[in-house]
Amino acid sequence: MDLLWQVSEADIATVRNLLTAEQEHPWVKDRFDRNLHYPKVEITRSYFWKVLVSMRATTMAASGEGSAIEKFESLRPFPLSLERVRGEPAEARKQLIHLVLGEHKVGTHRMKIASDLAWNFAKLEEDSWPALLEKCNSLLLPSEPSAEREVADFLASRLRGIGPKQARNILQDLGLTRFEIPVDSRVMRWLNDCKVFPFTVTARALSDWNYYHFILDAIQELCRNCGTYPCILDASIFSSLENRQHASH
């Protein structure tokens, strides 16, 4: 069964008004530079690991400007670098990760985060790095939406604690994706408030991969009609909500 998305002029106007209002925001400019700039630098094990740690630590936690995770990510050297974790005995890695997250007040449910990251580290070091990096680096050049989706679903299927949204968070932070975006509470709020879809997007339904793909298909079609990329719409939604929060204080 085929589904035909019909994008109205009102929908296009809603998106374009948002893009115009947010085009000078640093987050939007950074998204242009990071995700729409080519050629890209090859993804390494250390770089991927840092992004994986940072993304997993942001689950159910604030990650905006001035947040604990933002400060954590900017530390040099990175406190949970691949080299530091690798230097610990296998049985001590979970405790190390938990300890460092606590020291920097990063993440909620830290023991679960530490458990997931220790498991992922062991699996990657055992035999998964080659396939994972090959998948990620296949997106170094401009790719079709279907190719981005394949890589995102691969990450979600291979990494513990990583679902459809988190997998796309990782790829977007790596600067590899234009079309596949993380649909989180802020994106859902904007979609529902603006009523660009003839139904309400719910968080519970987004845990289903097929529904997640369904929502992304609609977002991608909306962006095609507006002459933009979903990754830019995503950044614009985030910056607009951040600006609204500042205005209310």
Show me where the domains of the chain are located: 9-36+181-244, 45-173
pTM: 0.91
Q: Assign 64 a pLDDT band (cuts: 50, 70, 90).
A: low
CB 228 within 8 A of CB 19: yes
Q: Check whether 249 has a pLDDT greater than 50.
A: no
Read off the pLDDT of each residue in 78-107 and give the average, rounded to a whole number.
Answer: 95
CATH 1.10.340.30 for domain 45-173: yes
The answer to whether the bond into 164 is cis (omega within 30° of 0) is no
C-alpha to C-alpha distance for 158 and 143, rounded to whole angstroms:
22
Percent of the chain with pLDDT over 90: 74
Which pLDDT does position 244 carry in this prediction? Answer: 63
